[in-house]
């Protein structure tokens, strides 16, 4: 299954030229940012007492129940459930944005074996954040069905998936920065070597 997934990704990665991938990456990044702004507005309207990050990574059932109790007291629990549903729209934009961005980065990497291998691994890993987010949200619906009496152990897979999601985001963005810095350093060297009639061996 993983090989088939890799083959599909490879076909997609070679379907467009590098400039088309970068244009798509920029457009989809703007779309994902706009969607995040919309989602943040819904979250603020729900009056959840703490940030996304704090609420999702608590690993403490009593603490999470206290947050839900605030929503029940304010009468905004339904709005918060709406946020969880709207989050799937954001996930779709993030999945597309990160995949396209990782392909765009991969396509401009210098032809250095180990760098290309990391780049391709990141292409394959790019949907992970959205996948973890989707699973985390599924558990949140179970929690919200009984916001004050859900089984305490459910907070552990819920928060674990949240940590995995934020970790996947961090790794992806960090790689993009490091890869672009590598290109800025290595490509001038390669072009100078080629200009003077020698093939770079890196």
Distance CA 21, CA 104 (A): 5
Question: Checking phi first, is residue 143 left (phi over 0); if not, alpha (psi -120 to 50) or beta?
Answer: alpha
pTM of the model: 0.86
Does a structural domain hold residue 169? yes
Give the model's confidence band at 196: pLDDT under 50 very low, under 70 low, under 90 confident, else very high.
low
Strands (E), 68-199: none
Does a structural domain hold residue 202? no
Contacts of residue 164, defined as CB under 8 A and 6 or more positions apart, other chains included, come to 128, 132
Distance CA 31, CA 92 (A): 11
Does a structural domain hold residue 86? yes
- Tokens (6 digits) for 59: 């690993």
Write out pLDDT tens, residues 116-131.
Answer: 999 999 999 999 999 9
Does a structural domain hold residue 154? yes
Distance CA 93, CA 30 (A): 10
Question: For the chain, how many structural domains are there in total?
Answer: 1
Write out pLDDT tens, residues 35-79.
Answer: 999 999 999 999 999 999 999 999 999 999 999 999 999 999 999
Distance CA 16, CA 104 (A): 10
pLDDT at 33 over 70: yes
Which position has the higher pLDDT, 143 or 184?
143
- CA angle 132/182/190 to nearest 5° reads 140
Q: Are 139 and 158 in contact (CB under 8 A)?
A: yes
Does a structural domain hold residue 178? yes
The rounded Cα 2 to chain-centroid distance in angstroms is 20
Distance CA 35, CA 29 (A): 10
Angle between helices 18-46 and 77-108 (to 10 degrees): 160
Average pLDDT of the chain? 90
The helix/strand/coil state of 1 is: coil
Which position has the higher pLDDT, 135 or 200?
135
Give the model's confidence band at 12: pLDDT under 50 very low, under 70 low, under 90 confident, else very high.
confident
Does a structural domain hold residue 201? no
Does a structural domain hold residue 200? no
Q: Domain range holding 22? A: 2-195
Does a structural domain hold residue 38? yes
Q: What percent of the chain has pLDDT over 90?
A: 74
């Amino acid at each position: 299954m993983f090989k088939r997934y890799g083959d599909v990704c490879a076909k997609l990665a070679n379907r467009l030229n590098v400039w088309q991938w970068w244009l798509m990456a920029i457009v989809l990044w703007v779309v994902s940012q706009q969607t995040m702004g919309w989602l943040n507005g819904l979250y603020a309207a729900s009056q959840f007492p703490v940030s996304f990050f704090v609420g999702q990574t608590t690993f403490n059932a009593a603490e999470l129940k206290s947050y839900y109790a605030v929503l029940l007291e304010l009468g905004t629990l339904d709005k918060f459930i709406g946020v969880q549903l709207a989050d799937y729209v954001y996930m779709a934009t993030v999945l597309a944005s990160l995949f396209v961005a990782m392909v765009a980065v991969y396509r401009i990497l210098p032809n250095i074996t180990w760098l290309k291998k990391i780049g391709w691994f990141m292409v394959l890993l790019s949907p992970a954040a959205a996948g973890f987010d989707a699973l985390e949200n599924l558990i949140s619906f179970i929690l919200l069905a009984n916001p004050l009496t859900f089984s305490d152990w459910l907070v552990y897979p819920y928060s674990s998936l949240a940590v995995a999601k934020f970790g996947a985001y961090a790794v992806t963005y960090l790689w993009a920065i490091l890869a672009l810095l590598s290109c800025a350093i290595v490509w001038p060297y390669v072009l100078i070597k080629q200009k003077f009639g020698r093939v770079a061996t890196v």
